[in-house]
């Protein structure tokens, strides 16, 4: 596989970019997260706009899992089931696909 260094970190190129030469909607997430950790919000959004959804959902799930472990509850699993049922709703699915297509076009144009 093709690899490179980004800010001193060894990174592998995604299979889609390696096999087809086209970035996938997830391309740039690692660089986006690293930029976010360095406080570069605009750069993080440039690399991948999905970071806007991934970070808050990740924090919510971590907090809920900790809550579930402490209080022997299933709030994280309940939220997961709600998200799965939401993804089956056409009113959520169509805008999500349009947004992901826009992320992919942005990645494709800028070859992130």
11-68 pLDDT, tens per residue? 666 778 778 888 888 888 888 999 999 999 999 999 999 999 999 999 999 999 999 9
Give the predicted TM-score (pTM) of the model: 0.72
Angstrom distance (rounded) from CA 77 to CA 59: 15
Structural contact between residues 97 and 17, judged by C-beta atoms closer than 8 angstroms: no
1 pLDDT band, cuts 50/70/90, is: very low
């Amino acid at each position: 596989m093709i690899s490179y260094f980004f800010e001193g970190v060894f990174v592998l190129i995604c299979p889609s970019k390696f096999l087809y030469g086209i970035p996938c909607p997830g391309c740039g997430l690692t660089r986006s997260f690293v930029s976010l950790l360095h406080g570069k919000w605009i750069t993080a959004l440039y690399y991948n706009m999905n970071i806007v959804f991934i970070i808050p959902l990740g924090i919510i799930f971590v907090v809920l899992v900790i809550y579930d472990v402490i209080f022997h509850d299933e709030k994280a699993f309940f939220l997961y089931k709600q998200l799965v049922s939401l993804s089956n709703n056409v009113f959520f699915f169509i805008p999500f696909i349009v947004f992901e297509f826009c992320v992919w076009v942005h990645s494709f144009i800028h070859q992130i």
